[in-house]
Amino acid sequence: MPNTAKTYLPAIPLQQRLKPYAFAAALGVLVIFHAVGFWGLLFSGEPEKFQRLTPMNLLLTNALLFAFHMRWNVAFVLFALVVMFAGFFAEVVGVHTGLLFGDYAYGESLGLKFLDVPLLIGLNWLMLVYTTGHLINYTSLHWVAKAIAAAMLMVGLDFFMEPVAMEFDFWDWQGGHIPWSNYAGWLGLSILLQLYFQKAPIFKENRLAPYVFLVQVAFFVSLWTLL
């Protein structure tokens, strides 16, 4: 006699069922938000409204990025804090003394400031160090060469970022001219932070990280081209 008893499989939690789509969804949100920002700054006719959304965009980008980081251990928290504080206070020194980068001042587009530097600047340094470090780790270079190459990627992005920043009130340079000391300062600090990234005992396999950097590159290069 055939067995007509039904076999019931345990229900799969919703979180587990959605997990295969998480990466595609995160990348889609990342691209859409930057595309909207690009359109808003250049073609909406009201760029000021979209400038005010910059802090939210930066926070969203970092939330998506670090949602894909695994192993939130003490070493990673320490790494994140050191990079954020180093980047932030380097900017404080730069703004108040002209050392490291040159004579510049932050505008209002990046949100709340402390010591005349937007609080989100430290988070931006962390994002750039983390994403370029992941991207360059796809190469087989020596770890010191990786640190230098990743730092050069950061400086390369900054080259396109600077004119955009001045146009949309992120920051401004004295006399409207970007000094070479800015790129030298960025390179020096970036190398130090990338050396730390390479040797820090943290998990370095965030699949979204390279895409975050590439989206940033596409965003700023496109704005730079059309300004």
What's the pLDDT at 8? 52
pTM: 0.91
What's the pLDDT at 227? 86
Does pLDDT of 9 surpass 60? no
Kindly tell me the number of DSSP H helices and DSSP E strands found in the chain: 8, 4
- pLDDT grade for 21, boundaries at 50, 70 and 90: confident
For residue 31, count other CB atoms closer than 10 A to its CB. Answer: 14
DSSP state of 85: H
Is 31 in a helix, a strand, or coil?
A: helix
CA distance 174 to 169: 13
Lowest mean pLDDT segment, chosen from 6-10, 58-62, 187-191: 6-10
Kindly report the average pLDDT of the chain as a whole number. Answer: 92
What's the pLDDT at 142? 97
Does pLDDT of 14 surpass 50? no
Does pLDDT of 190 surpass 70? yes
Does pLDDT of 2 surpass 70? no
Crossing angle of helices 180-199 and 74-97, in 10° steps, is 170
